[in-house]
Amino acid sequence: MSDIIKIKNLQVTFPDEAGPIYAVRGVNLNLKHGETLALVGESGSGKSVTTHALLGILPKDAEVTADQLQFEHQDLQSLSEKDLTLIRGSQLALVFQDPLSALNPTMRVGKQIGEVLKYHEHLHGKKLIAAVNAEIKAVDLDNPALIASKFPHELSGGQRQRVMIAMALIGQPKVLIADEPTTALDVTLQAQILDLIQAQKQKHDLSVIFITHDLGIVANIADRVAIMYAGEIVEVGTANEIFYYPQHPYTWGLLDSVPDTDDDQEQLFTLPGTPPDLHQKSKGDPFANRNPYALTIDFEATPPVTQLSATHFVKSWLLDPRTPAYEPPVSIQKRWQTYRALAKEGTHD
Amino acid sequence: MLKVILRRLVALIISLFLIASATFFLLAAVPGDALSAQTDKLPTAARKQVYRNTGLDKPVLQRYEITMTNMLHGDFGTSIADPGMTMHTVLKEKLPLSARLGLQQVLFGIPLGLLLGTLAAVYKNTWLDRSVTIVSLLLMSVPSLILALLLQSYFGGTLGWFPIIGWPEGSNLWLGGWSYTVLPTLAGGLGYIARYARLLKNSMLDVLSSDYVLTAKTKGLTGRRVVMNHVVRNAAIPIITSLPVTVAFSITGSVFVESIFVIPGIGQYFVQALTNRDVPIIMGETVLLAALYIVTLFITDLLYMAVDPRIKLYQN
């Protein structure tokens, strides 16, 4: 499968009164055609900033550099603002976390959905209305004409998120970036919205970047998972590799903090400490001070990236050959056993 | 909708009744009245006669009854201190002067304020933004009274560019005597510049940093279309809704500016009536201003509803 998006060494810096904030620090990421890539990390880890940099919608004072920022065959960095507006909405679309604040409160939702077609394909009048209504129907909302005539505050949370998705998909983009699309919704609606995104993905041959802080909802939808911490990608691999053969202690922490209904554990695991201050360019591994497995070297030098398979990369000193033997938490060891058993089954086939 | 208007009308009448009563009794409680200064040196019999002529000799409650009954018929009575003047003549002779002053202040101040506010928001964190912010803060903290005196002494006195006092009347009432109007217009208008520049800048920054503006960008709208379709209307909401009160109260006269520049407008006349304890005029002006304020607030509510669909005055 070819890469539809390629990001190499992306750096984003925001000016701030207390000095520059290094929000994204050398992110390498690729999105394969037709896959769902989950971008997972805590708040402030740089997930959204990475995708906003890709679309070129960061505030003007943000400083963005990258060795490569490619969509299909176009170098996004070399495009003018005008050419970028042609790509946004029609090729790359975004769904936001909170549809109530992401929709204009004083404009009817039908008009908001239609704007994409109005300006990209110059549709007007009845054709535009028909296209908008068809798209509203496509995201499983009944009575599209009525929905289109409503203002955002007149719709329910689930309806609003469907409207957001309709707005993102009406331009028939190739890539959908879903930025925590279910965080503002209750659990039953979350499942519905995830199903909807999956269904639309298959129907329209979309490639999806799914941003979330919740590994739990990623399990069923992601082909690959990238774990972000403090503006860096610390581990990336297929969903299997991340869930059953995780190597980075931060990934372990994230996996252990997902509630597990099969387990009788009384208390949920929480990662100690808080993410580092992004004003500082850290020496060594930014995760070191929260990492029970940290080595002396973690505080001194940036960890190398180790490749474990064609798809699995880990940025940690733990995988250095000189690292003394260590034992991951029991819960993670169990996962590794499952992974090895699956791998064995695979070799028997 | 009709029900809302009716309800507001009832509220208006009750409010006016309460305001008029409060004003009446407060004035009655204050020692001295409109005649005490003039009649101080008259013999007792003559003084009693003067009081009897104006009806001020009657007990408070009886006067209250008469005043309220007359007011119900639209009659506020004749001025005691300034014989011959009624509310009708006040509105006819004094209001136009104040209205021209107010309109000039508003027409000068608000557009400039909106322009500066927009520029400050668009060029955020530049020297332009900073100077607009500092100057408007300064203008807002200095009362129009001080500003008027400063303008008067510098441009009228030191430089001698404009007349120090006076206001066009007669044939120049609306168009003419412009040089007299410059300083009073500045004295009030500079405050409007400051207020509206700050108001619009803040509301534009709010809207520009909102998620839905980001959404509009991700849809591939050009910068100009984002502003036209998504920023203008939302940023205008606080402006549109504060306009009615500003306009209504600029027209009904500003006490300080009129007093300092000796403009015989309604504001100055009100102050004069207050110092004279001229009950009919005070009652008339108070009730009219209160009515104007209540009606203006209702218009503001209607405007809110028209520009912001989230706001409803009534349930369907």
DSSP assignment of A42-86, as one string? -TTSSHHHHHHHHHT-S-TT-EEE-SEEEETTEEGGGS-HHHHHH
CA distance A98 to chain B (A): 9
Residue A75 near residue A258, CB atoms below 8 Å? no
pLDDT tens for residues B173-205?
Answer: 778 777 777 788 888 888 899 999 999 999 998
Nearest to B248 by CA among B76, B98, B142: B98
Position A127 in a domain: yes
CA distance B193 to chain A (A): 27
Q: Please give the torsion angle defined by the CA atoms of residues A225, A241, A222 and A273, in that order, rounded to the nearest 10 degrees.
A: -40
Would the CB atoms of A57 and B233 count as touching at under 8 Å?
A: no
| Interchain contact A80–B (C-beta under 8 A) | no
Q: Which of A106, A115, A153 sits opposite B219 (nearest CB)?
A: A115
Same domain, A247 and A326: yes
- For A199, the 3-state DSSP assignment is helix
Same domain, A80 and A166: no
Q: Which pLDDT does position A272 carry in this prediction? A: 78
Same domain, A298 and A321: yes
Nearest to A129 by CA among A143, A113, A140, A107: A113
Same domain, A246 and A157: no
What pTM value is reported for the model?
Answer: 0.78
Q: Which chain B residues are within 8 Å of A151, Cβ to Cβ?
A: 309-310
Same domain, A268 and A245: yes
d(CA A121, CA A111): 15
CA distance B218 to chain A (A): 5
Q: Which chain A residues are within 8 Å of B223, Cβ to Cβ?
A: 81
Would the CB atoms of A89 and B214 count as touching at under 8 Å?
A: no
- For B206, the 3-state DSSP assignment is helix
Same domain, A268 and A284: yes
Same domain, A277 and A349: yes
Domain that holds residue A122: 101-172
Q: Which residue has the tokens 């387990």?
A: A263
Count the alpha carbons within 13 Å of B232 in the hemisphere toward its beta carbon. 7
Residues in chain B where the model's pLDDT stays below 70: 37, 172, 253, 313-316
List, in sequence order, the alpha helices (H) in chain A.
47-55, 81-87, 99-102, 109-120, 125-138, 144-148, 157-169, 187-204, 215-218, 239-244, 249-256, 330-348
Position A96 in a domain: no
Q: Which amino acid is at A20?
A: P
Q: Which chain A residues are within 8 Å of B233, Cβ to Cβ?
A: 106-107
Position B287 in a domain: no
d(CA B147, CA B139): 8
Contacts from B10-13 at CB under 8 Å and sequence distance 24+? B11/B294, B12/B291, B12/B294, B12/B295
Same domain, A168 and A208: no
pLDDT tens for residues A250-276?
Answer: 998 888 888 766 666 667 777 777 777
CA distance A212 to chain B (A): 18
| Interchain contact A149–B (C-beta under 8 A) | no
Using only C-alpha atoms, what is the Rg of chain A? 21
User: Among A118, A150, A172, which residue terminates a domain?
Assistant: A172
pLDDT tens for residues A53-106?
Answer: 998 888 888 899 999 999 988 898 888 888 888 888 889 999 988 888 999 999
User: Among A172, A189, A205, which residue terminates a domain?
Assistant: A172
Running DSSP on this structure, what letter comes out for residue A280? S
> Is pLDDT at A12 greater than 90 in this prediction?
yes
**Total number of domains constituting chain A:** 2
Both tokens assigned to A58: 């960061």
- For A24, the 3-state DSSP assignment is strand
Same domain, A294 and A347: yes
Position B182 in a domain: yes
- Among chain B residues, the shortest Cα distance to A115 is held by B219
Would the CB atoms of A98 and B211 count as touching at under 8 Å?
A: yes
Same domain, A178 and A160: no
d(CA B229, CA B4): 32
Domain that holds residue B215: 93-276
| Interchain contact A246–B (C-beta under 8 A) | no
**Total number of domains constituting chain B:** 1
Q: Which chain B residues are within 8 Å of A120, Cβ to Cβ?
A: 220
Position A5 in a domain: yes
Q: Which chain A residues are within 8 Å of B309, Cβ to Cβ?
A: 105-106, 151, 153
pLDDT tens for residues B56-102?
Answer: 777 778 888 888 888 888 777 777 777 777 878 888 888 888 888 88
Same domain, A178 and A304: yes
Residues B77, B82, B86: CA angle, nearest 5 degrees: 30
Provide the CATH number for the domain around residue B138. 1.10.3720.10
CA distance B131 to chain A (A): 20
Residue A287 near residue A241, CB atoms below 8 Å? no
Same domain, A32 and A154: no
Q: Which residue has the tokens 């008009």?
A: A111
